[in-house]
Amino acid sequence: MPLVEATPDHPVRVEVNDGIGTLTMHRPEARNAINPAMRRALRSSLAEFEASDDVQVMILTGTDPAFTAGLDLKMIGDDRTSLLSETPVGSSNPFPSRTKPLIGAINGVAITGGFELALNCDFLIASEHARFADTHARVGVMPGWGLTALLADAVGRTRARQISLTGNFVTADQALHWGLVNEVVAHPHLMGRTREIAAAIVDNDQLGVRQMLATYASQEAEALSPMWDLESAGSADFGKATTPGADVAARRESIMERGRAQL
């Protein structure tokens, strides 16, 4: 599979080497914020990796300095209908169905929807520059990609509540201490270390890898599916009770300023 450079219509760089497929979100001017084109590109590229015999392990990362700042905040203030159409409520996963491991290489901030992308990976390797934040409550929208279920499962319910209710950033070292990420490495070594781990997985029997991953996924689904359903219902109820307005747009800049102050 040849290297595919990112374009405005497909803002994800696609690369395959030695059984490892790497996707790099590439909207650096918007800190890799997720717009409709990026969401479509992520899903189509991951589906291609899933179907390709050349790919055994997948990596998701972002163009520096961000992993992704989450859903494009301009969409929230300018066209909330479009935003919601791209982020349907329900037990919706941001990624297509897959049988192959997906490692998140978190190179910078992973905020709100970007945080959810990270949580939907099988595990995370973080740069020292990584930061995580859930600002759903500050923006005035609710999660729909499983954040409340996956975050509580990763760090415990009380820490998850603190993260979501404050909207404050979690540093890379704190994320390691809380069990959110597996390793923290010096920023220049992030992709090298992530590929080293991916190569160890590629070196194994792939039927065994996929059966092991499926077993973990089945156990997780049985435990967390009711939580996803509750999140879906809560998101739907919240969406019905709120309407687009200037207040949503007005929060946009204050959220950005608050985030910059914490970095």
Q: 3-state SS of 149-211?
A: HHHHHHHCHHHHHHHHHHCCCEEHHHHHHHCCCCEEECHHHHHHHHHHHHHHHHCCCHHHHHH
* Predicted TM-score of the model (pTM): 0.89
Residue 41 identity (one-letter amino acid): A
Region 161-190 average pLDDT: 98
Q: Which residues pair with 50 in a beta bridge?
A: none
Distances (CA, A) of 184 to 23, 95, 176, 180, 196: 20, 24, 7, 11, 14
Q: Which of 29-38, 78-87, 104-113 has the lowest mean pLDDT?
A: 78-87
Region 237-256 average pLDDT: 58
The whole-number pLDDT of residue 139 equals 84
As assigned by CATH, the class of the 12-262 domain is alpha beta
Sheet holding 170-171, edge to edge: 66-68, 109-111, 131-133, 170-171
pLDDT band at 87 (very low <50, low <70, confident <90, very high): very low
Q: What is the pLDDT of residues 116-136, one digit of tens each?
A: 999 999 999 999 999 999 999
Give per-residue burial for 213-235: e unless 16+ CB within 10 Å, then b. Answer: beeeeeeeeeebeebbeebbeeb
Chain-wide mean pLDDT for the chain?
87
